[in-house]
Chain A
Amino acid sequence: MKFNIPIGPQHPALKEPISLRMTVEGEVIRDVDIRLGYNHRGLEKLAEERSFIQCIYLTERICGICSHSHATCFVQGVEKLMEIEPPKRGAYIRYLVAELERIHSHLLWLGVAGHEAGFDSFFMYTWRDREVVMDLLEMISGNRVHYAMNTIGGVRRDLDEAMVKKILDGIQVLRTRSEFYFKIGANEPTFVGRLAGVGYLSKQQAIDLCAVGPTARASGITADVRKDDPHAVYDEVPFDVCTADSCDVLGRTVVRIKELMESYKICEFLLKNLPAGQIAVKAPKRAKPNEVVSRYEAPRGENIHYIKSNGTEKPERLKVRAPTLANYPAAVEMLKNGFIADIPLIFAAIDPCICCAERTVELVNARTGEDRVLRFSQLRALAAKRSKNLPVQRNAVWPF
């Protein structure tokens, strides 16, 4: 007997509310239908009525977690249109904030993964440590969430010696904590057993469905815009692309922890080699008629902005492709043949920020039209029950 379960579309705390319709047989998901467009804000149209300077703050508000990613992606494009280059020091500070943002985003995701897997103490400790990097960002930029560091032609705030020292100290604290979490992950059989084998996405499927970011890298694809198409400072900075071959949620966790380590390395390199000089150059108000595609590796994957200018001080067209959108087809494939109780975990693993929302799952009996409504907390209780009854997977290992 098959059931249809609609999930969504209203998730109040969600940036991108979506509706998932799942066909289930018993507890197993057989098919997923995904519907988008519930949170259309008219942002691209709004950008056409704003000057380039105003658009920076507009694009920053596309996303709350990766606000710097969108602003940087936009500014990179506009700088290409205006044919200016940020000075070296400005570029270093810009990508330092980008890496700090990656650290905060990945720590947030780790906590969420722990929460969805029923490991709530892990969630609380990672989020407490995330405060360290949030405070650093507040010190650099003057705000915790929307940093507003970018301006066309550089950054808006400079770093002094005391700040550099504080950031280096903070990174040292975070590094020891992350190593501790890595050890926990590798040694806690319940955690590894819950994540291993959930949400399988083979390498070929990941390539076919154009998965991006940690989702793709956890399937063994070395795709990273920072390496493939080094923008600004990334051709000078030594770092490795982190991959995993296990193709499941465990792999996505490992990739993110490894990326944290790489980000610490990049931050330290940028701070120790911070060149002296200007932080911004003066930018013109207008851009010549032209078009540009700007790519940027956001914490969740490749972010693309297309900007077209027509000689005025406003863009003629702005198109934004956020990484979560690119991961939806892969998420559908991951959910197939999984369990209802694994929905939160699998969906959280592409990091769509869906997990912070309290939502409803409705189970409809296809034959009688009878339906029952499950709250997200009940769904999680189901997940916890399932993991309790799960035999501990002795053979599941943490892939180093």
Chain B
Amino acid sequence: MRLAVFLPELVRHLFKKPATVDYPFKKLEVPKDFRGTPFLHPDICIACRACERDCPAEAIEITAVSDVEKKFKMIIHNDRCVHCAQCVDSCPTNPVKAMEMDHLFELACFDRHDLKMEWIFVRALPKKEPKPAAPAAGPAPS
């Protein structure tokens, strides 16, 4: 046991760059699968309301604007959103999801109502699953 065992480490770090990043001027990159804010592809959405049902923060609101035209309005309350991406998981559209997350994380603003995002769209028809190609005909049984 001796005194000041930590000292060599401290001296070594005098000549190293700081571990922190100069934030507003330099930004770290977020990973590929980062969960930012959710957004909608209105041309694919089939208005099944699965995201509205599963959202734990009740941040998604879907209302019918016109029943005749099959027009819907979706509001995402980003002030309530907890960024769990459950809406993306619940979305049944395939292979491109109608709900997706972007990489935005600097969401601060002066009024929480500015965070509201809304889309008015005509419901897309659910695409049918492409049938698996018929197996190639084997040699005819003799």
A residues touching B (Cβ–Cβ < 8 Å)? 50-51, 53-58, 61, 121-122, 125, 128, 131, 138-139, 141-143, 146, 148, 151, 156-157, 180, 183-184, 186-190, 192, 397
Task: Please name the 6 residue pairs, one residue from A and one from B, whose CB atoms are nearest each other, closest first.
Answer: A54-B56, A57-B56, A142-B35, A187-B5, A142-B33, A139-B31
User: What distance in Å separates the Cβ of A62 from its nearest Cβ neighbour in chain B?
Assistant: 13
**Cα–Cα distance between A209 and B19 once the two chains are bound (Å):** 43
Which of B64-72, B78-86, B113-121 interfaces with chain A?
B78-86
CB pair A138 B31 closer than 8 Å: yes
**Cα–Cα distance between A16 and B24 once the two chains are bound (Å):** 33
**Cα–Cα distance between A139 and B31 once the two chains are bound (Å):** 6
Say whether, besides A57-B56, A142-B34, A184 and B83 are in contact (CB < 8 Å). no
CB pair B84 A53 closer than 8 Å: no
Residues of B within 8 A of A51 (CB): 53-54
Give the residue of A125, A141, A156, A189 whose beta carbon is less than 8 angstroms from that of B1. A189
Task: Name the residue of chain A whose CB is nearest to the CB of B19.
Answer: A128
Determine if B125 is an interface residue (Cβ-Cβ < 8 Å).
Answer: no
Residues of B within 8 A of A128 (CB): 19
Residues of A within 8 A of B82 (CB): 57, 61, 146
B residues touching A (Cβ–Cβ < 8 Å)? 1-6, 9-10, 19, 30-31, 33-35, 53-57, 82-86, 89, 101
Give the residue of A142, A183, A184, A186 whose beta carbon is less than 8 angstroms from that of B31. A142
Give the residue of A53, A143, A190 whose beta carbon is less than 8 angstroms from that of B54. A53
CB pair B5 A188 closer than 8 Å: yes
Residues of A within 8 A of B83 (CB): 143, 146
Give the residue of B5, B19, B89 whose beta carbon is less than 8 angstroms from that of A184. B5
User: What distance in Å separates the Cβ of A108 from its nearest Cβ neighbour in chain B?
Assistant: 16
What are 26 A-B pairs with beta-carbon distances under 8 A? A50-B56, A51-B53, A53-B86, A54-B56, A55-B56, A57-B57, A58-B56, A121-B10, A122-B6, A142-B34, A142-B35, A142-B85, A143-B35, A143-B83, A146-B82, A148-B35, A148-B86, A151-B89, A156-B85, A184-B6, A186-B1, A187-B5, A188-B4, A189-B2, A189-B3, A397-B1
Residues of A within 8 A of B85 (CB): 142, 148, 156
**Cα–Cα distance between A346 and B54 once the two chains are bound (Å):** 43
CB pair A146 B6 closer than 8 Å: no
Question: For chain A, what secondary structure do more than half of its interface residues adopt (helix, strand, loop), or is it mixed?
Answer: helix
Residues of B within 8 A of A156 (CB): 85, 89
CB pair A148 B31 closer than 8 Å: no
Task: Name the residue of chain B whose CB is nearest to the CB of A189.
Answer: B1
Residues of A within 8 A of B30 (CB): 138
Give the residue of A56, A57, A58, A121 whose beta carbon is less than 8 angstroms from that of B6. A121
Task: Name the residue of chain A whose CB is nearest to the CB of B33.
Answer: A142
Residues of A within 8 A of B5 (CB): 183-184, 187-188
User: What distance in Å separates the Cβ of A111 from its nearest Cβ neighbour in chain B?
Assistant: 14
Residues of B within 8 A of A142 (CB): 31, 33-35, 85, 101
Residues of A within 8 A of B101 (CB): 142
**Cα–Cα distance between A295 and B57 once the two chains are bound (Å):** 27
**Cα–Cα distance between A54 and B86 once the two chains are bound (Å):** 9
**Cα–Cα distance between A28 and B34 once the two chains are bound (Å):** 51
Among A122, A125, A183, A192, the most chain B Cβ lie within 10 Å of the Cβ of A125
Residues of B within 8 A of A183 (CB): 5
Residues of B within 8 A of A56 (CB): 56
CB pair A125 B9 closer than 8 Å: yes
CB pair B35 A54 closer than 8 Å: no
User: What distance in Å separates the Cβ of B90 from its nearest Cβ neighbour in chain A?
Assistant: 8
User: What distance in Å separates the Cβ of A58 from its nearest Cβ neighbour in chain B?
Assistant: 6
**Cα–Cα distance between A250 and B9 once the two chains are bound (Å):** 23
User: What distance in Å separates the Cβ of B88 from its nearest Cβ neighbour in chain A?
Assistant: 9
CB pair B34 A138 closer than 8 Å: yes
Task: Name the residue of chain A whose CB is nearest to the CB of B57.
Answer: A57
**Cα–Cα distance between A146 and B57 once the two chains are bound (Å):** 14
**Cα–Cα distance between A378 and B36 once the two chains are bound (Å):** 40
**Cα–Cα distance between A186 and B82 once the two chains are bound (Å):** 43
**Cα–Cα distance between A61 and B33 once the two chains are bound (Å):** 21
Residues of A within 8 A of B57 (CB): 57
**Cα–Cα distance between A180 and B57 once the two chains are bound (Å):** 43
**Cα–Cα distance between A397 and B1 once the two chains are bound (Å):** 9
User: What distance in Å separates the Cβ of B61 from its nearest Cβ neighbour in chain A?
Assistant: 16
